[in-house]
Structure 1
Amino acid sequence: MSGWLVLVPIAVLVGFLVFLWHRLAVAPGWPWWVRGLIALLLAALASLVLAAFDAWGGAFTPAEMRPFVWVGMAFMASCLYLFLGLVPVWLASILIWLVRWRHDHGAAARRRLNRVAAPLVTAVAVAATGYGAWEAANPRITTVEMSSPELPAELDGLRVALVADIHAGAVRSADFTRRAVELVNAQRPDLVVIAGDLVDGQSARYAPEIAPLADLEAPLGVFATTGNHEMYRDTQGWMAAFDALGLQMLTNRSVPLERDGATVTLAGVHDLEGDGEWAPDVDAALEGVDPAGFTMFVAHQPRQALALEGLGVDLQLSGHTHGGQMWPLRYLVPLQQPTVDGLATVAGTPVLTSRGVGAWGPAIRVLASPEVPVITLRRG
């Protein structure tokens, strides 16, 4: 990776920290020692954010680092709400400065405003982050029913569990993966589909965090495809780790699923971020598949359904969006994806998009609860 690409996010982080420090410490006119304490606290929290990206190397085990990483990522989540709260206060301060330009630019009024707003915004941001931590820690089952005349009568009532976006790694441990596995197995699905973004980081360091996936149970099998995060780092290592767990990878291919003499097809492709041997190939995935039969297609990103128009796919299973993960980010998702969550039609193909069971970065979700959708397929 280019050094410039590393410096850009660091520069953004530093710039934002300066903004926070000014709004929380300088603008209210606190004494010098309060300003110093706030600066030290922000610097310490920022160092924990960098720890989440293995900035300190492998000197410590993931278990040793996890409490510090969790706090750093929670701080990153709280920064969203600090930003949303402090920017309007900053704009109000500018307005006072302009309106009262003949009277010392309203220095006293601006100081009073910021002395009330700074602690209030901080309290709201911390409260929102705390609520988000609770919400993210409690994934739930959501039920969906989907009907199709192409579904064989013998497979009416087939139940499919869709697992997406576990993001095990520096923040999410094997304990969380195990809870997700237990949640799925308790539903006794006929088929389990994992729609990418199982992990973050290097397989040599974090493969143990997804070991419980080997315990997933379904009569028709457990299948998985890659997400964009599998493409960012150590793709080869993660593919080997998935194989070792017994996951059947849908690497631009299809498989027939048979029950009671009837057959449906399950196909899947790599994520859009893949290239070379990891590039998605819809034609290869659907080669030899009868478009008149019932076909489920697994692709991490909902927008991958745009390539399926007219190809006879009856249902795409996806994740990626996290439902926005933290309000109000869900309103930005449509800038990249055609759907945010739930069942929708994209370019003529029904697409079920899961909000995901885990979370990327902070283990925080605000008004975007984690889920494992269980789809019941009906003929009709």
Structure 2
Amino acid sequence: MSGWLLLVPAAVLVGFLAFLWHRLAVAPQWPRWVRWVVALLLAGLGALVLASFDVWGGAFTPAQMRPWVWLGTAFMASCLYLFLGLVPVWLASVVLWLTRWSHDHGAVGRRRLNRVAAPLVAALAFGATGYGAWEASHPSVTQVEVSSPELPEQLDGVRVALVADIHAGAVRGSAFTRQTVDLVNAQEPDLIVIAGDLVDGQAARYAPEIAPLADLRAPLGVFATTGNHEMYRDTANWLTAFDATGLTILRNESVPLTRDGATVTLAGVHDLEGDGEWASDVDAALAGVDPAGFTMLVAHQPRQALALEGRGVDLQLSGHTHGGQMWPLRYLVPLQQPMIDGLATVAGTQVVTTRGIGAWGPAIRVLAPPEVPVVTLRRS
């Protein structure tokens, strides 16, 4: 990554580390050696955060960098909880400073407050991160049932495994992809769809991390669409890498799925972040599709269902939200998306949105457990 592009996030990181150092070491008035220890620890963790931006990626293999990148991104997760805990303590200190102006600005009270709060907040923040690491490493299968009168009787009971947001790359490698493949195949689904954000980074460096996807098996096929992370960079090379694994990529197109003489349609669109040849095009994806038949659409973001009203799509399969990934970010998801996870009706279309099986940035999930929904289709 260009040094100029790193300048702004690096400046923000340094400023935040200075805030942490002041609140954790200076404000409690710990001895000088404690301040130095905290400063060196924060400086080391800050350097590891830079590793997550692939600053030294060309000099080391992904396997060599992965433990350090994991630790750096985990510290970023801890920073969320340090911020949520230390800012209220700082505000309380400001209130004491303002209200005790005639008594040395409450210096004794502020020191006592910070000596209690600083270690407590740090313990809670790193404890939440540790729990989040455990939660993120234990994906599960969620059962969902969707009914429609348009579904042919011959396909009643078809089971669709919905995979999204693997985010293989610098943090999660081929071992995690293999874990995902084994979990999905164990469900013996009839159809597997991957709703985008398979990867992060450059294909030349991280394509081997998705190689296990070649072992996904389902009688009706394995299909995928792009997510926003495929659109951020190296789109063409990633799609070539997906093709090489044997995935059928739905590039604003549809395919018929037939069982026992009955046919339904599976369509897929690119993510909304794409432009030019990678732009999302619902019209192209649904061209020639009978609106009276049963149609499923794979689209990375749930809000893509807002463009489906009146088009005869019976079910959309999506990911993207991560269920917020780390509490309390879940409560910010509705600012961008019409749903967070589960099954909901959006603009007249039933939408199943998975929290995803991977994680973006830190491999940390707090109160947003990773999942692979298995959607059972029923004729109502």
TM-score of the pair, normalised by structure 1? 0.98
Give 1:363 shift: 0.5
Q: Letter of the aligned partner of 1:47 in structure 2?
A: A
Query: Is 2:162 the partner of 1:148?
Result: no
Give 1:4 shift: 6.3
Deviates most, 243-252 or 2-11: 2-11
Residues 309-348 of structure 1: CA deviation (Å, up to 9, x unaligned): 1101000000000000000000000011110000011111
**Structure 2 residue matching 1:345: 3-state secondary structure:** strand
How far apart in 2 are the matches of 1:306 and 1:12?
A: 36
Identify the residue that residue 209 of structure 1 maps to in structure 2.
209
Query: Is 2:112 the partner of 1:112?
Result: yes
Q: Letter of the aligned partner of 1:260 in structure 2?
A: D
Q: Letter of the aligned partner of 2:279 in structure 1?
A: A
Superposition pairs for residues 1-380 of structure 1, below 5 Å? 6-380=6-380
Give 1:43 shift: 1.3
Residues 271-330 of structure 1: CA deviation (Å, up to 9, x unaligned): 011111111000000000000000000000001111111101000000000000000000
Deviates most, 367-376 or 25-34: 25-34
Q: Letter of the aligned partner of 2:93 in structure 1?
A: S
Residues 117-175 of structure 1: CA deviation (Å, up to 9, x unaligned): 11111001111011100000000000000100000011000100000000001110111
Deviates most, 285-294 or 36-45: 36-45
- Structure 2: gaps of 5 or more residues: none
Judging changes above 3 Å, is the alpha-carbon distance between structure 1 residues 357 and 30 closer, same or farther for their aligned structure 2 residues?
A: same
TM-score of the pair, normalised by structure 2? 0.98
Give 1:54 shift: 0.5
How far apart in 1 are the matches of 2:46 and 2:260?
A: 57
Give 1:98 shift: 1.0
Q: Letter of the aligned partner of 1:352 in structure 2?
A: V
Q: Letter of the aligned partner of 1:139 in structure 2?
A: P
Give 1:16 shift: 1.2
Residue pair 2:274, 2:280 contacting (<8 A) in 1 also: yes
How far apart in 2 are the matches of 1:255 and 1:190?
A: 15
How far apart in 2 are the matches of 1:362 and 1:20?
A: 19
Give 1:2 shift: 8.6
How far apart in 1 are the matches of 2:125 and 2:83?
A: 9
Give 1:13 shift: 1.6
How far apart in 2 are the matches of 1:269 and 1:43?
A: 44
Q: Letter of the aligned partner of 1:112 in structure 2?
A: R
How far apart in 1 are the matches of 2:215 and 2:60?
A: 28
- Structure 1: gaps of 5 or more residues: none
Residues 61-87 of structure 1: CA deviation (Å, up to 9, x unaligned): 111111111110110001111111111
**Structure 2 residue matching 1:270: 3-state secondary structure:** coil
Residue pair 2:57, 2:65 contacting (<8 A) in 1 also: no
Give 1:239 shift: 0.5
How far apart in 1 are the matches of 2:308 and 2:336?
A: 18
Q: Letter of the aligned partner of 1:9 in structure 2?
A: P
Give 1:3 shift: 7.1
Give the paired residue count.
380
How far apart in 1 are the matches of 2:216 and 2:166?
A: 14
How far apart in 1 are the matches of 2:76 and 2:282?
A: 37
Residue pair 2:265, 2:295 contacting (<8 A) in 1 also: yes
Give 1:37 shift: 1.6
How far apart in 2 are the matches of 1:171 and 1:4?
A: 24
**Structure 2 residue matching 1:58: 3-state secondary structure:** helix
